[in-house]
C-alpha cells in the first residue's frame, strides 16, 4: 500500500466536498435514503406531541443465515458518515413539499435536522450472533426514527459481504485474496463490497473506485479480450510484458493452457510474475501448470485462479499449488446470503411527554413471530481460562460485575458528534483478532449452529 | 404521480450538477467504477499500437438463472448516463499516477477520454434468453474496453431485480405492488433496485431517493415503532389519523390484530383507507380481517400485506382478500438470484492495425467452458400467426429477409452521442407489452426451460 492511502478511510466524509467532481462515491446527503414512512411517522408524532419522547432503537438480527456460525459487523464507518451527512437541503425539501409527502411544520423541522443523540454499538469487524445488540441509537423518537432505513441498508449489505469474505479468508488459509466482483453488483454497492471484503480479510481489489475512496490496494493486468485483440497469443503476451514488465500476470486460458504457459515463459523469461487461470478444472490445471512452470525454470512464477470461486471451491484448492484467489460473484452477493436480516426496533422510550420522564421497555408482541425483547441492552463475551469466548451474554438490567471487563459495545456518536471513527486497517485487524478468540468450530465451513450461544440475563 | 415527475428519468444525468448538494444519487463521474485491468490493457495496447483497432464487444449471458424462463433487460438508461459521464478528472488521474496504475502516456490518453463509438442493444424492458446479444459496444478497442466493468455492474444488478419484479408482477395478477426493500440492500443499489422494480411492473416505492431521482411514486405511513411510541394503540392510531387523515394505512399487528382492527375502524371510521399486516399467517389473517372490516362497515378499507413476500407467497395469496403487496428482501436480492451472469466479450476486431481494416470474428476457445461465439450478432424474435413469439433467432451473417421486421436491437449511442434515452414509463409499458407476446408458459412461476429457444443462424 502506498503512503498516501493506507487502507484507512481518510477521504472526506459524505458532503464535505460537494463542489468538487471526481468523487465517485461521495454523496452530498444521505437524507433521502429513507423510507417514506419514517417521515410520515415524524409528522404524526410532531402533531401528537410525542415526537420528542426520548427513545432507544436497537439493531439486531433474530437469526444468522441458515447454517452460518457467526456474523460479521461491517459498515459501521459508513453509518457514521451517513448519520453525519443526513441533512435535508432545499431541493429535497421542495421534492417532499411538491409531492405532498409531509406537511409544512414537518418540513420546517426537517430543514433544521441534525442528529444530536448518541449511538453505541459493536465496533466494526466484531462478530455477532442472534440477538446481539449490534447498535443502539438514542435520542428523541423524531431524530432516531429517521435514521432507520439508511442504517439498515448499510449494515445489512456490508455485513453480508464481510461474512462471506471472512469465510473465504478462513478457507484460503493465509493465501492472498483478490476482490473482483464489481461487475456482478451495483456500481456503488461494489465499492462498499470491496470495503467490506477488506474488513473480512481480503487483501486487494480490482475496483479502482474502492482504491480511490478507501485506499484499498488495487490490482489487475489483463482479460481475454486483450489476447483476442492481438493476432497471436505471443503477440499479446509480448505487448503486455513490454508495457507492464515481466512481473506482470499473464492470462493463460484463452486458447490452450499448456501452449500459453510455454509462450508466457518464453516471452517474459523465468522471472514471469504470475499466470492466471480463469476457467476449467482448476485443481488439475494448477498442478499441471505448476509442474510445467517448474520444468521451465519459472519456479517463482505464481499461479492465480479466478473462476467462479466461493469458500468451498477455495477450500477444495487448499492442497493445490495456488498462490492467490480472485473472487467475484459469490463474494459480492454474500455467498448465498446477499443481505442480513438486521432490524431496527424501538426497545425503550420515555414513559410520558414530560421532560426527563423515565424510560420504559417496549416491544411488539403479536402472535406469529417477529416479537422482540424490550429494553436497551448491553452485551458481553466472557472468555474461558484459555481466552476462548464462551458465550454471547445479553442483558438489559445492571451489568454483572464479572462481565464488566468483557463488554462489547463502544461509543460511536456522542451528543451528535462522531467519536468512533477509525482506520479501516484497524477494523480489519480487529476482525482477525476476534476470529482468533472464537472456538475452533468457527473455522468450519459446514453448516451448523452459531459457535457461541446467546444467553439472556 | 404528480405533474412534475412522471416516472420519467428527467433528473440531470450524472455530473451535470456537481456543485449542487442534495442529489443523493448523482455521481459526478463513473470512470473509476472500473476494474484496474481495463486500464492496464489500455496501456499495453497503446504501446503495442493495437489500441485503435476497431472492436465490437457484446454483452450476453450463457444461461438464465436455474429454472427461470426469461430474463428482463434493465439498467439500459443508467448505462447511457454512465457512458456519457465516464470521464477522468485531475483528481482521478492523480490517484492513478500516485498509485502507479498506468504510465504517463496512458494518463494523457485518459484525460481526453470521451466515448466516441456506437452502442446498440435490446431496448430496456425487453426480455432476453441465453445468447441474446443484449448490447453491442463498437469503437476502438481502447474506448470500448474501458466501459466493461460499469456496463456489467449496471446491467447485472438492475436486470436481476427487474426479473424478480416481473415474476412478482405476474404472480400479483394486477394487484398493486409496493417496492420496500431499501433497508435490505446498499443505499444506492436500493435506488437502482426501485427503478428496476418499476420497470418490471411494480407500482410504487417506499424509497424517497427513488422518488426524487426517477419520479417513481412513493408511499408509506407507519411502522411498529410508532405504535410502541404511544401509550396505547388507540393513542397511536388517533395520532396517525389526526395527522395523515382517515385515508391512511394503519398497521394492525403490533399487539392483537382483531383488537387493532376494531380500534382502527373506531378511530378512523369506516372510511379508513387501509390496514397493513406485517406478520403472521397472512392467508388466514387476510380472510379474518376482511370479514371483520366488512362487519364493521369498512368494506372499502383495503388490506395491504408486507411480510417476507416473494413471487410464490404472492401467488399463494391470489385467492385471499388482499389489495396490495409490499415486497422487500426478495425483490432487491433478485429472489434467489441477486446478479445475472452477463459478460462483455470481444467478438470482432479489425484484422490489422491499418485504418479501415476489415473486421473479423474472435472468440475464446480453450477447454473447460466459457467459450463464446465470435462475430457481431443481430437478433430477431419472429411471431407466429397469433402474434406469439416463436424463437430468439441470433446470427452474425446477413439478416434473412423474413426476419427483417422482427429485429430486436435499437441504436442507443451513435458516434458518442446518446440517442436511445427514453422515459421510464415507456420502458415499463414495453415490458408489459413484451410479456403479452410471450408464450403462456412465461407466466408459470415453476422452474423450467426458457420459454423461447435460442436459434443460431
pLDDT the model gives residue B370: 56
- B18 contacts on A by Cβ (under 8 Å): 18-21
Question: Residue B397: exposed, middle, or buried by beta-carbon count in 10 A (0-12, 13-18, 19+)?
Answer: exposed
Helix orientation angle between A148-172 and A187-199, rounded to the nearest 10 degrees? 50
Note whether B40 contacts A: Cβ–Cβ < 8 A: yes
pLDDT digits (tens, 9 = 90+) for A115-150: 999 999 999 999 999 999 999 999 999 999 999 999
Interface of A with B in 295-354 (CB under 8 A): 307, 329, 332-333, 338-339, 341, 344-346, 349, 352
Residue B304: name the closest of B187, B204, B162 by CA. B204
What is the interface size between A and B, counted as CB pairs within 8 Å? 424
What is the radius of gyration, based on Cα positions, of chain A?
25
pLDDT digits (tens, 9 = 90+) for B130-142: 999 999 999 999 9
- Please work out, in degrees rounded to the nearest 5, the angle formed at the alpha carbon of residue A187 by the alpha carbons of A181 and A192: 70
Pairing of strands A177-179, A324-327: parallel
Assigned C-alpha cell, A231: 493476432
Note whether B29 contacts A: Cβ–Cβ < 8 A: yes
Q: A373 and A363 in contact (C-beta within 8 Å)?
A: yes
**CB-CB neighbours of B150 under 10 Å:** 27
Give the span between the Cα atoms of A81 and B139, in whole angstroms: 40
Give the span between the Cα atoms of A249 and B258, in whole angstroms: 66
Q: Residue A364: pLDDT band by 50, 70, 90 thresholds?
A: confident
Q: For residue A13, is pLDDT > 70? A: no
Give the span between the Cα atoms of B44 and B109, in whole angstroms: 13
pLDDT digits (tens, 9 = 90+) for B234-291: 999 999 999 999 999 999 999 999 999 999 999 999 999 999 999 999 999 999 999 9
Query: B25 by DSSP, 3-state: which?
Result: coil
pLDDT digits (tens, 9 = 90+) for A395-438: 999 999 999 999 999 999 999 999 999 999 999 999 999 999 99
- When the candidates are 3.40.50.10800, 2.160.10.10, 3.30.70.20, 3.20.20.70, the CATH number that belongs to A169-332 is 3.20.20.70
Taking residues B344-365, report their average pLDDT.
92
CB contact under 8 A, A220 and B36: yes
Give the span between the Cα atoms of B155 and B58, in whole angstroms: 13
pLDDT the model gives residue B23: 45
* Residue with cell string 403487496: B325
Note whether B61 contacts A: Cβ–Cβ < 8 A: no
CB contact under 8 A, A19 and B18: yes
For residue A360, the cross-strand partners are A349
Q: Residue B373: pLDDT band by 50, 70, 90 thresholds?
A: confident
Domain borders along chain A are 36-161+380-456, 169-332
CB contact under 8 A, A32 and B225: no
SS3 per-residue string spanning A49-114: CCCCCEEEEEEEECCCCCCCCCEECCCHHHHHHHHHCCCCCHHHHHHHHHCCCCCHHHHHHHHCCC
Identical fold between A36-161+380-456 and A169-332: no
Assigned C-alpha cell, B115: 466515448
Share of chain A above pLDDT 70, in %: 93
- B32 contacts on A by Cβ (under 8 Å): 24, 208-209, 212
Taking residues A330-334, report their average pLDDT.
98
- Please work out, in degrees rounded to the nearest 5, the angle formed at the alpha carbon of residue B446 by the alpha carbons of B442 and B450: 45
pLDDT digits (tens, 9 = 90+) for B224-249: 999 999 999 999 999 999 999 999 99
**CB-CB neighbours of A290 under 10 Å:** 21
pLDDT the model gives residue B428: 98
What ipTM was reported for this prediction? 0.94
Q: For residue B1, is pLDDT > 90? A: no
Could you tell me which residues come within 8 angstroms of residue B55 by beta carbon, excluding any fewer than 6 positions away?
Answer: A225, A229, B138, B139, B140, B141, B144, B145, B346, B348, B349, B350
Note whether B373 contacts A: Cβ–Cβ < 8 A: no
Query: B86 by DSSP, 3-state: which?
Result: coil
For B223, which of A37, A98, A150 is closest by C-beta distance?
A: A37
Q: Please state which CATH class domain A36-161+380-456 belongs to.
A: alpha beta
pLDDT the model gives residue A366: 67
Note whether A283 contacts B: Cβ–Cβ < 8 A: no
Give the span between the Cα atoms of A317 and B172, in whole angstroms: 45
CA distance B69 to chain A (A): 21
Note whether B399 contacts A: Cβ–Cβ < 8 A: no
Q: B163 and B339 in contact (C-beta within 8 Å)?
A: no
Interface of B with A in 83-102 (CB under 8 A): 89-92, 95-96, 98-101
Assigned C-alpha cell, A251: 492470462
pLDDT the model gives residue B353: 86
Question: Residue B454: exposed, middle, or buried by beta-carbon count in 10 A (0-12, 13-18, 19+)?
Answer: middle
First to last CA, chain A: 45
Q: For residue A1, is pLDDT > 80? A: no
- The arrangement of strands across the sheet holding A454-456 comes to A378-380, A392-395, A454-456
CB contact under 8 A, A224 and B367: no
Could you tell me which residues come within 8 angstroms of residue B284 by beta carbon, excluding any fewer than 6 positions away?
Answer: none
CA distance A36 to chain B (A): 5
- A196 contacts on B by Cβ (under 8 Å): none
Q: What is the dihedral of CA B168, B170, B172, B173, to 10 degrees?
A: 170
Q: How many residues does chain B have?
A: 457
Could you tell me which residues come within 8 angstroms of residue B243 by beta carbon, excluding any fewer than 6 positions away?
Answer: A40, A43, A44, A46, A47, A48, A103
Give the span between the Cα atoms of B301 and B298, in whole angstroms: 5
Could you give the count of Cα atoms lying within 13 Å of B7 in the half-sphere of its Cβ?
Answer: 19
Question: Residue A131: exposed, middle, or buried by beta-carbon count in 10 A (0-12, 13-18, 19+)?
Answer: buried
Average pLDDT, rounded, for chain B: 92
**Check whether domain B162-333 has CATH 1.25.40.10, yes or no:** no
Helix orientation angle between B90-98 and B104-111, rounded to the nearest 10 degrees? 160
Give the span between the Cα atoms of B408 and A190, in whole angstroms: 31
pLDDT digits (tens, 9 = 90+) for B207-220: 999 999 999 999 99
Interface of A with B in 101-130 (CB under 8 A): 101, 103
Average pLDDT, rounded, for chain A: 92
CA distance B144 to chain A (A): 11
* Residue with cell string 444488478: B157
- B370 contacts on A by Cβ (under 8 Å): 278-279, 307
pLDDT the model gives residue A307: 87
SS3 per-residue string spanning chain A: CCCCCCCCCCCCCCCCCCCCCCCCCCCCCCCCCCEHHHHHHHHHHHHHCCCCCEEEEEEEECCCCCCCCCEECCCHHHHHHHHHCCCCCHHHHHHHHHCCCCCHHHHHHHHCCCCCCEEEECCCCCEECCCCCCEEEEEEHHHHHCCHHHHHHHHHHHHHHHHHHHHHHHHHCCCCEEECCHHHCCHHHHHHHHHHHHHCCCCEECEHHHHHHHCCCECCCCCHHHHHHCCCHHHHHHHHHHHHCCCCEEECCCCCHHHHHHHHHHHHCCCCCEEEECCCCHHHHHHHHHHHHHHCCCCCCEEEECCCCCHHHHHHCCCCCCCEEEECHHHHCCCCCCCCCEEEEEEEEECCCCCCCCEEECCCCCCCCCCCCCCCCEEECCECCCCCECCEEEECCCCCHHHHHHECCEEEEECCEECCCCCHHHHHHHHHHHHHCCCHHHHCCCCCCCCCCEEEC
Say which DSSP state B64 is in: P
Q: For residue A303, is pLDDT > 90? A: yes
Residue A108: name the closest of A37, A38, A18, A42 by CA. A42
Give the span between the Cα atoms of B438 and B457, in whole angstroms: 21
Distances (CA, A) of B118 to A75, B155, B419: 39, 18, 10
Residue of chain B whose Cα is closest to the Cα of A229 = B349
Could you give the count of Cα atoms lying within 13 Å of A294 in the half-sphere of its Cβ?
Answer: 7
Note whether A15 contacts B: Cβ–Cβ < 8 A: yes
Q: For residue A12, is pLDDT > 90? A: no
User: What H or E segment, with its residue span, contains residue B455?
Assistant: strand B454-456
Taking residues B432-454, report their average pLDDT.
96
CB contact under 8 A, A229 and B53: yes
For residue B278, which phi and psi values (nearest 5 degrees)?
Answer: -120, 10
Query: B115 by DSSP, 3-state: which?
Result: coil
Say which DSSP state B190 is in: H
- B306 contacts on A by Cβ (under 8 Å): none
pLDDT digits (tens, 9 = 90+) for B152-170: 999 999 999 999 999 999 9
Taking residues B35-57, report their average pLDDT.
98
Query: B245 by DSSP, 3-state: which?
Result: coil
CB contact under 8 A, B35 and A182: yes
Classify domain B49-73+117-146+337-456 by CATH number: 3.20.140.10
Query: What b/e sequence results for B200-212 when a residue is b if at least 16 CB atoms lie within 10 Å of its CB, and e otherwise?
Result: bbbbbbbbbbbbb
Residue of chain B whose Cα is closest to the Cα of A21 = B28
Q: For residue A83, is pLDDT > 70? A: yes
pLDDT digits (tens, 9 = 90+) for B23-34: 445 567 899 999
Q: A193 and A180 in contact (C-beta within 8 Å)?
A: no
- B152 contacts on A by Cβ (under 8 Å): 183-184
pLDDT digits (tens, 9 = 90+) for A145-166: 999 999 999 999 999 999 999 9
Share of chain A above pLDDT 90, in %: 89
CB contact under 8 A, A33 and B98: no
- B344 contacts on A by Cβ (under 8 Å): 183
pLDDT digits (tens, 9 = 90+) for B435-445: 999 999 999 99
Residue of chain A whose Cα is closest to the Cα of B52 = A229
CB contact under 8 A, B45 and A229: yes
The lowest-confidence range among A11-25, A378-392, B79-93 is A11-25
Q: A311 and A168 in contact (C-beta within 8 Å)?
A: yes
- A348 contacts on B by Cβ (under 8 Å): none
Amino acid at each position: 500500500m502506498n503512503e498516501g492511502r493506507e487502507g484507512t478511510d481518510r477521504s472526506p466524509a459524505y458532503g464535505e466536498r460537494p463542489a468538487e467532481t471526481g468523487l465517485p462515491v461521495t454523496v452530498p446527503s444521505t437524507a433521502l435514503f429513507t423510507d417514506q414512512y419514517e417521515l410520515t411517522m415524524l409528522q404524526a408524532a410532531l402533531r401528537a406531541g410525542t415526537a420528542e419522547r426520548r427513545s432507544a432503537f436497537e439493531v439486531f438480527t433474530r437469526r444468522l443465515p441458515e447454517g452460518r456460525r457467526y456474523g460479521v459487523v461491517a459498515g459501521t464507518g459508513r453509518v457514521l458518515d451517513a448519520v453525519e451527512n443526513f441533512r435535508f437541503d432545499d431541493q429535497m425539501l421542495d421534492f417532499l413539499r411538491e409531492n405532498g409527502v409531509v406537511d409544512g411544520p414537518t418540513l420546517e423541522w426537517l430543514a433544521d435536522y441534525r442528529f444530536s443523540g448518541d449511538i453505541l454499538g459493536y465496533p466494526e469487524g466484531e462478530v455477532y450472533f442472534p440477538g446481539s445488540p449490534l447498535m443502539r441509537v438514542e435520542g428523541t423518537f423524531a431524530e432516531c426514527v429517521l435514521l432507520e432505513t439508511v442504517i439498515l441498508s448499510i449494515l445489512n449489505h456490508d455485513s453480508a459481504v464481510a461474512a462471506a469474505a471472512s469465510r473465504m479468508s478462513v478457507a484460503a488459509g493465509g493465501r492472498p485474496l483478490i476482490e473482483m466482483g464489481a461487475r456482478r453488483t451495483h456500481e456503488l454497492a461494489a465499492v462498499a463490497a470491496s470495503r467490506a471484503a477488506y474488513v473480512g480479510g481480503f487483501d486487494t481489489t480490482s475496483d479502482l473506485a474502492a482504491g480511490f475512496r478507501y485506499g484499498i490496494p488495487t490490482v489487475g493486468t489483463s482479460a481475454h479480450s486483450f489476447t483476442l485483440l492481438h493476432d497471436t497469443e505471443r503477440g499479446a503476451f509480448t505487448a503486455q510484458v513490454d508495457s507492464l514488465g515481466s512481473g506482470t500476470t499473464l492470462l493463460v486460458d484463452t486458447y490452450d493452457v499448456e501452449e500459453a504457459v510455454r509462450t508466457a515463459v518464453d516471452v517474459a523469461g523465468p522471472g514471469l510474475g504470475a499466470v492466471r487461470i480463469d476457467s476449467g478444472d482448476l485443481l488439475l490445471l494448477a498442478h499441471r501448470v505448476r509442474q510445467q512452470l517448474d520444468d521451465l525454470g519459472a519456479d517463482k512464477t505464481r499461479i492465480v485462479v479466478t473462476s467462479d470461486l466461493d469458500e468451498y471451491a477455495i477450500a477444495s484448492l487448499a492442497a493445490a499449488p495456488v498462490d492467490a484467489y480472485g473472487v467475484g460473484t459469490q463474494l459480492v452477493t454474500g455467498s448465498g446470503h446477499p443481505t442480513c436480516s438486521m432490524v431496527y426496533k424501538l426497545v425503550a422510550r420515555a414513559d410520558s411527554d414530560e421532560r426527563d420522564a423515565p424510560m420504559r421497555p417496549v416491544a411488539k408482541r403479536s402472535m406469529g413471530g417477529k416479537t422482540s425483547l424490550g429494553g436497551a441492552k448491553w452485551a458481553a463475551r466472557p472468555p474461558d481460562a484459555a481466552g476462548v469466548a464462551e458465550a454471547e451474554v445479553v442483558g438489559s438490567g445492571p451489568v454483572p460485575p464479572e462481565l464488566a471487563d468483557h463488554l462489547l459495545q463502544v461509543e460511536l456518536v456522542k451528543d451528535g458528534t462522531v467519536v468512533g471513527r477509525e482506520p479501516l486497517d484497524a477494523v480489519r485487524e480487529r476482525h482477525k483478532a476476534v476470529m482468533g478468540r472464537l472456538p475452533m468450530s468457527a473455522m468450519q465451513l459446514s453448516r451448523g449452529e452459531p459457535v457461541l450461544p446467546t444467553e439472556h440475563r
